[in-house]
Each structure stands twice: as structure tokens, then as C-alpha cells.
Structure 1
């Protein structure tokens, strides 16, 4: 079905039930939902507020649910309607649009008789108790489409969502899951912020799927992959970087969690129909693959947001120009912007232009605490590199860094790679290649040095 067929189909259902055709807002909601837009985006495009669009949408889903005998929601609208359309076409032939009333009645009867059987055959198992509540979701349309393409269109089995803390990784994945609940028989979200041994994680996954545990770990692992084969599962592991070792290069597993490495490899090397999403601030070898045709692996690396929408609801006094300058200054990171918004309200009465007139990059106490933790995760080699990089106002070549640091060539190369995998250093493809330290992290290090306080 394309969007025009969807609009025609829904319009006929609504007209049959109410005697009225879809109005402009209803049409925008149907079209926007089909294209997986949020209510924020739909409301903006049809010039109404979000709450009104949400209320109209709720009434429309209820009407469609009653008419078609399905529990239709925004999250399952697309998949449900495609299935309903196909079944109703088979029942009566929707080419005869004049006989749609008979088609609806016939389909409702067919659906009622088989609803219990369908529910039993699908046997959905969801464990989303640890998912975060999304208050605001900003413009990540392209990233949502990328996840959709990777998982549903290209069947990539291992996907990592990577980026700095606060950049929106967890929020993005949660939004995608909300929009695609109906695509999976099993969805389980686990956080590794307080990590557990792999065998305990496997036990948790099997328990959620109502599977009886076996005697040995290997038998439980085999049983889990049997579930991955029999059912379309989506497993999300958040805060994966907590199974890596502090004080080492990025992505080095703690010895007690080394089994995770083999588990991630099995996900890509074993034939099944399920998917694993890893959310992490650090990249490991299993999160990216040079030969994507050989192993179904893909990394989605998030950068900062650029749209001024991110400042809405923060209570700031700003115009478009000052708002965009503030976003650029704090790298479009929602967490950093939220912290600095509190400071601007407390000290500058919310006036962004007055804050920007200070012409300085302010590191809030919350940011400083976060950067302290981040610095302490770095290896000694990485710490030396970032401290040296912070002394330069311009990007620096590897050779220039070598001249200022007492490091071997191998340590310098590995350190620069690791810092890029932590998203603290970026590479500029010039001749020679240059390396640039994150401006906020640079300011943090300079502030520490001025105050003569060790991180």
C-alpha cells in the first residue's frame, strides 16, 4: 500500500461509520503516522498544537478499531492496516469500492471468529519495564528511518547505537521501539548499568519468554537461540560500556564479562530471525564490521542536534539566531543544553542573548562531574593525549603530537583510535590528517589546569 491507498481506505471506513469524509487534520495524522512521524511533527505540518493532534488521533484510532475489529493504535497502525487491507481484499475484493459496507461487515465477522486463535499464535512477550519515559523527542527522522531500514528491510542482526552521553541514544531507540512494537513477537529491554554475568542475562531472557531453564549454561544458550529462530525477537542492551574496563583503551571487556564478546559474535554468525541493539558510549570490535555482506553488523553513530526545536519547553528567552548559537556552542547535546538552560534561567533570568554576550564556554557543575567520570575512564595514554590536545587552539597533526608527547608510535596511534571510538576526538581528512578535541572537553581540561585541580 502507498500513502494514497491508505488515505482512500481509511476515508472509506470513516465515511461508512460517520457519514463524513476525513478532514484536513485527520488526513495529516493518517499520512504522518504511515510515514512514522511523531505527533509533534504532524502538528507542526498542519499548524495545530500537539495535544489537539494527539486527541484527534486517539478518536480516529478508536473509530478504526471499532469498524475493523482490531486494536489499532498509532504504534501499530501501519502493520495492522496492511494486514487488514490484504485480508479484506481477499474476503470481498476491494476493487468494488461501492460494496465497502459489505466488505467491512464480512471482515469484522471473520476477524471476530479468529481473534483468539491469532493472539495465541502470536504469543507476544514484552519486557519494557526498564525503558525510559520519553518526555520530548526531537528531530531524528533520518536516524529512525536508518534503524527501520537496518532492522526491518535489511535484516541486520547486530546494531550498535553509539555516541557521547546525553546525545539521545536511548531516547532514539525507545522511540523506534514504540513505533514498531507490532513487528516483533518478543521485545526485551535490559540495562547493563549494573552489569550481570552473561549466564544470568540469558536466564532472564528465557524467563521472559516463558521458557523452562536447562541444567547447563550451554543448553540455556542453545535454547535462547532456538527462541531467536522460532520467534522474531528484538533485544536491547543499554549502557553496554559498563562491561568494559576503566583505565584501558575503549571496548576492552572486563574479564568477568568476556563471555559477552562471544555472545555478540554468535548473534551475527548464527542463522535466526532476531535482532540485538547495543547502546553504548564506547565502541568495541564487535560493534562494527568492514565486510557488512559477510557479517550482518551495523553501527549508527549519533551526532548533536541542530534544530532549534530542542530548546522548546526549557523556559528560555531566545530568538532563532541566539538559540542556534547556543545549540552550536554546546554541540547539540540535549543533556548539556538542559544543564546550561538551568544556569541561564538562574543567573541570566533565561535571557540567552545576555548569556552569549559573555563570550565564554561555561562548563556547569553537572558537566564537570560528567567529564570527571569520563576522564577517569580513559587509559593513561589517552589522558596524556587529551591533555596535550587541550593546549592547542587548532587541530593538530599526529606528527606534531608525537613531538610534544613521550609516547611510542604504537601507543599514540592506538590512543587516537580509542579516543575517536569514545567520540572525544574527531579526525579531519586533510593532508596531513588532523585531530581535533571536543571543544567542551577541551574547556573542561583547561579549567581543571587553571584551578590546578587533578580530574
Structure 2
């Protein structure tokens, strides 16, 4: 079934979960499927001596097509955990051979790039004619990240085509990371405010200062043990010449990670940290089964090492003293929306032509939230012919994707937090603690300070001296949702 020029070997028949014969799963360069042909060709040229089993080859080809491990398991008849383990070992094996960190998230773009480099320097024959239109000379569609060094594994980091302002904040982050050598930095803020975009732009500017840069998203709530294995495989592939066997226990894996962070100057970015935190109660506690994530942050902050871990989250995790005290190597940044000047620039870049007065009004009503501004521009252009006054006259500022984004965050609140926000939204000016206590049901008044601290962890309130206010975009949402 296989051409002898491909070094595929038979799968071991020792997996009890197997219910399908993998020999019938991988066709030989099927005609009319240029992406599969391209994947085969790249695999052969970059790994001529790799002896891959049939199931490893299947995982490679189906992952190239963008399938998840669960989908690959369904199509092959193998257990999903087994397929995931095959994948981890496959990326580790190919990483060691290539000398560059590969993962399921980044291997397509990296292998395309490395194949192109090989084609540029050798007499590599062109791809099959059916795939000329998709030549590997073109960059992959999601290649918004600049891979300036083999030491960077960007994972699922988003491309950031529009980025306005934030220069002071980027300078501050760079100082915290490069000059102050902080071990742990948290970027917190409402959804859509631009935490991920800020992190991407900052890391792009400083990536060359590190032996190893790895970006991972927690959006899909990855199993902690799998995440640790992925991080360790990726770091080892970049900084270690020879692969090593990973320890079995979570504690030992965390210890090994800290050892690597101490031996090498690494920058780890863990995006969407809030995904492993618990909703429907005060902010910061971990979901059942996700408690090891808290252990990881605590050990990173307390252990001596030369690396930096950057997290982004809608909520600040509890049990960790994020502080601005220079005695501790931990920093926190609460990210607000764009200022008026940057907001105007963003609205123009998003495609809205209007007067400065209306630019400023939109920025103010949506608290400079870049995501909300982008949604609003599309609505005004598509349905109001760029007539901002006509849009504002409808007095329907919270709708569609903006409502859904805010609703996701409101669903995580406790009843007391919701009551406090409704009280603050009724005020035209910032309120005091006394104002809130008089309006909130008294039977839970002993938890008032806890609830306020929780709202601050979620970036739902702003503290100004002894007064407290709610960002305008949240105030608009609360008034619309509760008919205040």
C-alpha cells in the first residue's frame, strides 16, 4: 500500500482500544487532494529518515487538515486519549529531528516555512501540478505572526491586523519583563478590551531576548497534565539537544518545568486564564479539577528562575498576591479601553468616516472597547450608511455580539455582585461604599467588601479614591438588561 520511498512502519498491535486497521487509513498520495499531496511531500523531504508508523502518519495527515484529536480518533477507530498520546510523541519526535519546536497548533506553518527554505537552497522539484495553485511559496492564511526565530512557538496566538495606541503600556510591560525580571505578570480586563492583542504586540518586540518563547491558550480548558506535557515537550525541543523522558506525576512535571525555566531564559504566555476559573461565585476560584493551575502560578511566583510567565484573563485568580510592590517579582496590569485619540484612529481603521465629535461619542459610550467599536462600525456602515447620529438615535447600543460578549461575563457573577452593579448603574456619578450598602439587601452586607473585591478582580468596577464607578459599556448593558 505504501511506496517504499516513504519510511512508514507497521503499527504495534498492542493497543487494546484499536478497533480499525490503520493499514487502510492512509492512502498513497491520493490524486485530487493537493493538500494531502503537499503534506506527504513535505513529510518526505524534511524527515527522510523518520520511521513513522501508520497511525503516526495518519495523525500527521489529518492534523494537517485541521482535525482535532477527537475527530481523528473517530475516523480511525482508536481511543481519543491514545490518539492524543500518539500526537504528543509524534511532535516530540519530529521536533527533535527538525531542531525546532513543533506542536499540533504550529506544525503546518513551520513545516511549510522550512520546506520553502529547503526549496530555495536546493534543487527540490516543484509540488505536483494539482497543487500549484496552493504552492508552499505562499504563507498560510493565519500567519499573522512573524516567526523571526526558531525559538518561538506561537501556538494559537491570534494575528493582530489592527492595533492602535497602547505604546505606554507596551513600554511598561517590556520594562517589567526585560529590566525588572518579574517572574509572573498578569494582564486583566473585560472581554474585548485587547489583552491578547497587547500581549502579541509586546512579545513580537521582545521575542529575540529569550532562548524560548511559547504561547498557549487555555480557551478550551486543556487537561492540566496534557498542558504540562505539551509545554515540556516544546521547551525541551527548543533548548535541549536530546529529548528526555517526562516524569509521571503532575508535581514532578511542574518541578521539571521550573528547572527548565531556571536553566534557560524562557517567556511563556498563557492566554484566556479565566477559562479554568469558576463562575457563579466570587471571582478567582478554580473549577473542580483545575486546581493544579493555581499550584503552577504559585510555584512560578515563589521559585527562583530567570524566566517570565505572562497570563491574560478576564478575572484575576485568587490565592496569589499580584502586586505593584517592588519587593515581589509579580506585576498586574488592569487594561482599560482605548483613550479618545487611539479610539478615533481605531474607528477610522475599522472603516468609519465621521466627525471627531461622533468618534469621541462612540469611544465614550463603548468605553473604548476595541471589539465593541469594531462591531459598531460594521453595523453603522452596513445598516446606517455611516450615519452615526441615526444609529445613536435608536438608543440600542448593546446588541448582537456586544450583548453576547457582556452576557458571557455577567453569567459568572454572584447574586450580590449583580445587585451591587445594578445599584451603581443607577447612579449618574461614582458612588461611595455607603451609597452601595444602603441599596443592597442587608442580609448579605457582611459580604459587601468581598463582593466589591471580586468585582474589581473581574474589572467590572473602577476605584477612584473612596468612590466606585462602572465602565460606561457595562452601565449601558445593565440598564438595557434590567430596564433601569
TM-score by length of 2: 0.63
Matched, 1:161 2:180: no
Query: What is aligned with 2:416?
Result: 381
Query: What is aligned with 1:327?
Result: 363
Query: Matched residue of 1:227: which SS?
Result: helix
Query: Matched residue of 1:377: which SS?
Result: coil
Matches within 5 A, 1:8-407: 125-209=151-235, 210=237, 211-212=243-244, 213-285=246-318, 288-290=321-323, 292-306=325-339, 307=341, 308-356=344-392, 358=393, 360=395, 362-407=397-442
Query: What is aligned with 2:88?
Result: none
CA distance in 2, matches of 1:219, 1:143: 36
Listed one character per residue, the Cα deviations across residues 239-291 of structure 1 (whole Å, up to 9, x for unaligned) are 00111101011111113111121211111211111110010011124564447
Does the 8 A contact of 2:186 with 2:322 survive in 1? Answer: no
Does the 8 A contact of 2:273 with 2:312 survive in 1? Answer: yes
Does the 8 A contact of 1:329 with 1:361 survive in 2? Answer: no
Q: Which piece of structure 1 moves more, 211-220 or 165-174?
A: 211-220
Query: Matched residue of 2:350: which SS?
Result: coil
Deviation at 1:236, TM superposition (A): 0.4
CA distance in 2, matches of 1:390, 1:171: 29
Does the 8 A contact of 1:361 with 1:440 survive in 2? Answer: no
Q: Which piece of structure 1 moves more, 162-171 or 287-296?
A: 287-296
Structure 1 stretches lacking a partner, 5+ long:
1-122
Does the 8 A contact of 2:285 with 2:318 survive in 1? Answer: no
Matched, 1:423 2:459: yes
Pair 1:286–1:404, CA change in 2 (3 A): closer
Pair 1:381–1:438, CA change in 2 (3 A): same
Does the 8 A contact of 1:344 with 1:352 survive in 2? Answer: yes
Pair 1:318–1:243, CA change in 2 (3 A): same
Deviation at 1:158, TM superposition (A): 0.2
Query: Matched residue of 2:419: which SS?
Result: helix
Pair 1:370–1:290, CA change in 2 (3 A): closer
Query: What is aligned with 1:96?
Result: none
Does the 8 A contact of 2:187 with 2:313 survive in 1? Answer: yes
Does the 8 A contact of 1:396 with 1:435 survive in 2? Answer: yes
Structure 2 stretches lacking a partner, 5+ long:
1-148, 238-242
TM-score by length of 1: 0.67
Query: Matched residue of 1:180: which SS?
Result: helix
Across the aligned residues of Structure 1 and Structure 2, the Cα RMSD in angstroms comes to: 2.1
Does the 8 A contact of 2:196 with 2:312 survive in 1? Answer: yes
CA distance in 2, matches of 1:326, 1:218: 49
Q: Which piece of structure 1 moves more, 285-294 or 258-267?
A: 285-294
Does the 8 A contact of 1:264 with 1:286 survive in 2? Answer: no
Does the 8 A contact of 2:284 with 2:318 survive in 1? Answer: yes
Query: Matched residue of 2:187: which SS?
Result: strand
Listed one character per residue, the Cα deviations across residues 405-446 of structure 1 (whole Å, up to 9, x for unaligned) are 2243331111111112211122232xxx32222222222222
CA distance in 2, matches of 1:286, 1:156: 18
Matched, 1:409 2:445: yes
CA distance in 2, matches of 1:242, 1:261: 13
Listed one character per residue, the Cα deviations across residues 274-313 of structure 1 (whole Å, up to 9, x for unaligned) are 1100100111245644473442000112111122211123
Pair 1:136–1:288, CA change in 2 (3 A): farther
Query: What is aligned with 1:441?
Result: 474
Deviation at 1:375, TM superposition (A): 1.3
Listed one character per residue, the Cα deviations across residues 48-96 of structure 1 (whole Å, up to 9, x for unaligned) are xxxxxxxxxxxxxxxxxxxxxxxxxxxxxxxxxxxxxxxxxxxxxxxxx
CA distance in 1, matches of 2:346, 2:321: 30
CA distance in 1, matches of 2:348, 2:321: 35
CA distance in 1, matches of 2:368, 2:323: 29
Query: Matched residue of 1:267: which SS?
Result: helix
Query: Matched residue of 2:286: which SS?
Result: coil
Does the 8 A contact of 1:124 with 1:185 survive in 2? Answer: no
